[in-house]
Amino acid sequence: MLKDKVAIVTGGTRGIGFEIVKTFYEAGAKVVFFGSKEESVLKALEKFSKENVKVKGYYPNLANYEEVEKTIQEISQEYGQIDILVNNAGISADRKIEETTSLDFQNIMDINVLSMFNTIKAVTPLMKEQGGGVILNTSSMVSIYGQAAGVGYPTSKFAVNGLTKSLARELAPYHIRVNAVAPGIINTDMVAALPKEVIQPLIKTIPLGRIGEPKDIANAFLFLASDMASYVTGEILSVDGAARS
């Protein structure tokens, strides 16, 4: 589905991002992933190697535009094109507002929104020049209805949705599609570490009767990245087992 496409995946060292990298590679893409630091990138490369997934990893500071642009230019020069950008890097929050400092809030916005803006800004001229591309963003089910605490996280994901819908309109004339995937409760390391008494009540709220797997989300990204979604742009695709309802 992605034969000979060149894809960049941020936040690709673990969880959903790791699965997206693997899925894209298996679909025929040449994949470069970003991680937050050298140690996590090297560890992910080792894991990919054991699964015979041949990819490259970088660790630019995504909140620093100059650093992001330099890295993306290097990738463009090496591969000759960038067809797909997946903005998956992000952090969550669960503190009450009284316990959240303005610096905490700013940090979430920098990682979840500013970094996304920076990568898109850096890759857009390249995609325009080559005649098109695909930009995909990771949103969240909480971008639809919020959450009980950790206001910075849903705020950032509401912003991701606005960025996605607006850029879809702005970039459509250049044949650049922009979409987002909004995962529900997914079986990542963080969720797997929760005790059963916490997980079981969550599962009961999901009409499909189970939490999602990273592969469920990666497959949604694969569809949106492929030509099968050639007429889809400006969408926030919920992948949550109908939990939002």
The answer to whether the CB of 86 falls within 8 A of the CB of 136 is: yes
Query: Partners of 182 in the beta sheet?
Result: 238
The answer to whether the CB of 119 falls within 8 A of the CB of 67 is: no
Candidates 58, 145, 153, 174; catalytic one? 153
Pair of tokens at residue 107: 């940090």
Residue 153 annotated among the catalytic residues of the structure: yes
Tell me the CA distances in angstroms from 244 to 53, 142, 183, one per residue in order: 34, 8, 10
Cα 94 to Cα 140: distance, rounded to the nearest angstrom: 14
What secondary structure letter does DSSP report for 186?
A: B
Pair of tokens at residue 245: 């309802």
Instruction: Give the list of residues 6+ apart from residue 115 with CB closer than 8 angstroms, or none.
Output: 10, 62, 63, 68, 87, 89
Closest CA to 33 of 49, 5, 55: 55
The answer to whether the CB of 202 falls within 8 A of the CB of 233 is: no
Q: Please list the active-site residues.
A: 153
